[in-house]
Structure 1
Amino acid sequence: MSVKKVFDPNTQQNDLSSKIVVGLERISQAFKVLLWQQAKELGLSPIQIQILIFIAHHNGPLNNVSALAQEFNVTKPTISDAIKVLERKSLVIKDHSSPDSRSYTLLLSNLGQDVVKNTENFTSYLVTQIDKLNEEDQKGLYRILGNLIYQLNKNGILSVQRTCYACKFYQKTTSNHYCHLLEQQLKDADIRLDCVEFEANV
């Protein structure tokens, strides 16, 4: 099977899927630009800001070196180096209360919480643009993104997934979706991409 040259403008002229892939790549660039702008203002790296924002919204078991490395698809040494800087800047605190004395989870310091408040809105421009879409377009876009993320995870490209599709409580029904934990039907827009109650379907 021949491989599509999606970045070749001649290929894009006659292939809609290639255009969509290029569009996703441009949006990825936008995320990087917006994140770098915030990082430069604070003297932090993008991964350091991402770690702070992630810790602010996730519980202890996900806030250790191994879990963070998997979350951001980087090596443990990369995460450890980032944590050293955050600790030196008094933005995070290591919690060694785990029974395993060698491991720790990360908590935000008061200063770290202030940094998150001032940085987690780096996506506000993108949110504003998406808010301009009508509701049906938003629902359609979300459904497509959810399925794409699930397939990328299934094929080992994304290492972490906490979406309904991969959860043991999820069931696809003829009408829509069903969550056995919430005991209710779900619409496409109800599907979560980062569920705190997620349990892997193994």
Structure 2
Amino acid sequence: MTNFACRPKFGRLFFMDNNVFNPEHQQKHISNKIVSGLERISEVFKILLWEKAKLVGLSPIQIQILIFVANHKQELCNVSHLAKEFNVTKPTISDAIKTLDKKQLILKDYSSSDSRSYSIHLSQLGKQLASKIYDFATPLKHQVDKFNQSELEAMFKTLSELIYKLNQKGILTVQRTCFGCKFYQKNDTSDYCNLLEKELLNKDLRLDCPEYIERM
């Protein structure tokens, strides 16, 4: 008996038709096109990160760790949190930190209560290198800058909400957007921050807020 589910149709298989990467299926829902577009943009980050990694002799995750540590408070710069931040295993982070330590790019601050636990911060050499790798995403930013202000604000709010929703579904393990913060309040027609005591315009919303406290 012929298995119609697997019969080729114009070089494809029937069971593969209904997916977001099928150009014909993309035409049925704009959300399919958006997901496909986000996948392409994620490839841009991989390419730019790899290009910078080859220039400075580090791996992409090592570059990401240096940039994160340079821009965040020390309590977030430990193996457990970094593993959650980048959605990788603790051994992967430990191996990356070991290499950064050998290259004298980071320093370890051991816990007084647990000698196995430590946080990291950048050495002077690490700070110098970090200043040279921040710009890996500049080619992408140059293209984003070409949108007008209203387009940028609408795009930013949508991205913020998407990140929060992905976190709520357990797909993104870490997020520090306004929408998940204890200080955030949604009013009928506006967003409000109880810490700053002010209404938040789209441009005021944050993706990575240093005052973020998770709403319980």
**Smaller-chain TM-score bracket:** over 0.9
Corresponding residue to 2:34 among 20, 45, 56: 20
| Of 89-98 and 30-39, the range deviating more from structure 2 | 89-98
Identity of aligned residues (%): 55
Q: 1:139: which partner in 2?
A: 153
2:125 is equivalent to residue 111 of structure 1: yes
- Offset, 1:17: 1.2
SS in 2 for 1:106: strand
Find out whether 1:94 has 2:108 as its counterpart. yes
Question: What is the one-letter code of the residue matched to 2:34?
Answer: I
**Alpha-carbon separation, structure 2, partners of 1:41 and 1:122:** 11
Deviations 1:14-36 (A, max 9, x none): 32111111110000000000000
- Separation in 1 of the partners of 2:111 and 2:21? 50
Deviations 1:148-194 (A, max 9, x none): 10100000000001111001011001221111111111112111110
CA deviation vs aligned residue, 1:49-93 (integer Å, no higher than 9, x gap)? 000000000011100000100100100000000000000011101
Taking the aligned partners of 2:102 and 2:38, their CA distance within structure 1 comes to 36
Q: Identify the range of structure 1 (128-137 vs 93-102) with the bigger mean alpha-carbon deviation.
A: 93-102
- Rg larger in 1 or in 2? 2
- The offset of 1:12, in angstroms, is 1.5
CA distance in 1, matches of 2:165, 2:90: 25
- Spell out, residue by residue over 1:127-164, the C-alpha distance to the aligned partner (whole angstroms, 9 max, x if none): 11111100111011101101110100000000001111
- Pick aligned residue for 1:166 from 177, 180, 192: 180
63, 66, 75: which one aligns with 1:52: 66
Amino acid at match of 1:49: I
Hey, what does 2:54 align to over in structure 1? 40
Runs of 5+ consecutive residues of structure 1 not aligned to the other structure: none
Q: Which residue of 1 aligns with 2:169?
A: 155
Aligned equivalent of 2:98: 84
Deviation at 1:100, TM superposition (A): 2.7
Matched, 1:73 2:87: yes
**Which residue of 1 is the match for residue 213 of structure 2?**
199
**Runs of 4 or more off by more than 6 Å in structure 1?**
none
Distance of 2:186 and 2:27 partners within structure 1:
36
Aligned equivalents of 1:187, 1:4: Cα separation in 2 = 38
Question: Are residue 122 (structure 1) and residue 136 (structure 2) matched?
Answer: yes
Q: Is the 8 A contact 1:95 1:105 kept in 2?
A: yes
> Post-superposition shift, 1:98?
4.2
Structure-1 separation of matches of 2:112 and 2:98: 19
